[in-house]
Structure 1
């Protein structure tokens, strides 16, 4: 059953109104000028984990990644997870607002379109089957579909499988997140690609991406990227 909020947002989209505040969008599709302006970009992100770095840093990597890097090689998560991005994401994730999800995917895609080198394959971070039944859709898959279509990159589902219904990551410490994701994923078949991008909606500590990327690295994949619409940062 489609959530009533999804119907409302779909109505706003069809009427050409901002999906956040209800005003007519004037600049970005789905957003009015004011809400578009209020979405914050992450300036000077760490090349590997995507966390913002000091503007005067001479390195492309933050101190944490220099000392203890994650398994993925590069992160693209261009936006701060703060309002109005947070509002759009919650509408998408918990109210089946696919119009908001499409907008989020396009915001991410806008940051990717100018890249010279794109991955050979997109792999969405999967939900466990039980969580999928509860929610009714997979938000990472919906975002990956838009990216695959716009960037013309193959998308493969079923390659990465979540083994168990892990505790929700929100509210857990970094250490608890890593423990929660121990042996959480399985790769279901060998791969010939050497450059893969994992896709999710929002990155918090990066633990989920790290756990999945470890499997791909063990399978011999040379370059694994982490793509998300936005991420929480440590100073918020």
Structure 2
């Protein structure tokens, strides 16, 4: 049914590039030229996806993960938070451009379906209710909805709760971000899965994702991956 709906939509409402308004390709709201200009995160730490200067064919860990291993297991971040990718994310997050969530979800789905072991469930990064009321929506939920539909994976929106309205991470130096996120999350109910993926728009240091991964693992989940559209 979904395939037929996509065929009908593409016939009568063909995709257009969000960035330049040229015809889209591969069912994306992005043209081939703008797609090829997206900043790729090709060589990165497999644990936190921090971009590495030296290319290698083998899996590598960055110095930060070697010194202080985060609680999540792997991070999949296909792009760098630069140029057109930063524009797409910020316009979704602060400009309420919901069509960007569809595009970002599609790009992330194409990447993880080809490179990741798919989990049993995906969990969008929760917002505290104060932040949700202020912003009016959760951009991670909007991206995760498209991912769940495209990959046919369960989506959980209610089990994980952000119980503390923490100071925004962007205002803190890296050393204080871990402390800021302590006990920031709780579980409203346990999840009956062994492998889940946290979905977010962008990762900076990974402190928030690590705090949520710890909360999830304390309930018995054995593997937690992180899927983000971009790595800062």
What is the TM-score when the length of structure 2 is the normalising length?
A: 0.87
CA distance in 2, matches of 1:75, 1:47: 6
Residues 82-121 of structure 1: CA distance to partner in whole angstroms, max 9, x if unpaired? 0101111111111111101110111111101225731111
| Structure 1 equivalent of residue 193 of structure 2 | 193
Structural mapping, 1:54-133, within 5 Å: 54-56=54-56, 59-115=59-115, 117-133=117-133
C-alpha distance in 2, partners of 1:203/1:115?
19
- 1:34 positional shift: 2.9
**Quick one: distance in 1 between partners of 2:38 and 2:180?**
31
Does the C-alpha gap of structure 1 residues 116 and 29 become closer, same or farther in structure 2, counting only changes over 3 Å?
closer
**How far does residue 209 in structure 1 lie from its aligned partner after superposition?**
0.3
C-alpha separation between the residues in 1 aligned to 2:57 and 2:65? 14
Q: Which residue of 1 aligns with 2:38?
A: 39
Whole-angstrom distance in 2 between the partners of 1:175 and 1:162: 21
Report Cα offsets for 1:133-171 as digits up to 9, x if no partner.
Answer: 111111111111111111111111111101122222223
Q: In proportion to residue count, which structure has more helix?
A: 2
Unmatched 5+ residue regions in structure 2?
A: 1-12
Aligned residue-pair number:
219
Q: Which moved more, 1:71-80 or 1:22-31?
A: 22-31
Give, in whole Å, the separation in 1 of the partners of 2:197 and 2:170. Answer: 23
Instruction: Could you tell me which runs of 5 or more consecutive residues in structure 1 were left unpaired when the two chains were aligned.
Output: 1-13
CA, structure 1 residues 58+110, in 2 after alignment: closer, same or farther (shift >3 Å)? closer
CA RMSD of superposed structures (Å)? 1.8
Paired residue secondary structure (2:198): strand
Match of 1:184 in 2: 184
Given that 1:132 and 1:138 are in contact with CA atoms closer than 8 Å, whether structure 2 keeps it comes out as yes
Q: TM-score, normalised by structure 1?
A: 0.86
- What are the within-5 Å matches in structure 2 for residues 128-207 of structure 1? 128-207=128-207
Task: Decide which moves more: 183-192 or 146-155.
Answer: 183-192
Structure 1 runs, 4 residues or longer, greater than 6 Å off: none
Q: Residues 137, 209 of structure 1: CA spacing in aligned structure 2 closer, same or farther, 3 A cutoff?
A: same
CA separation of 1:29/1:58 partners in 2, compared to 1, >3 Å: closer, same or farther? closer
Contact map agreement 2:43 2:56 (CA 8 A) in 1: no
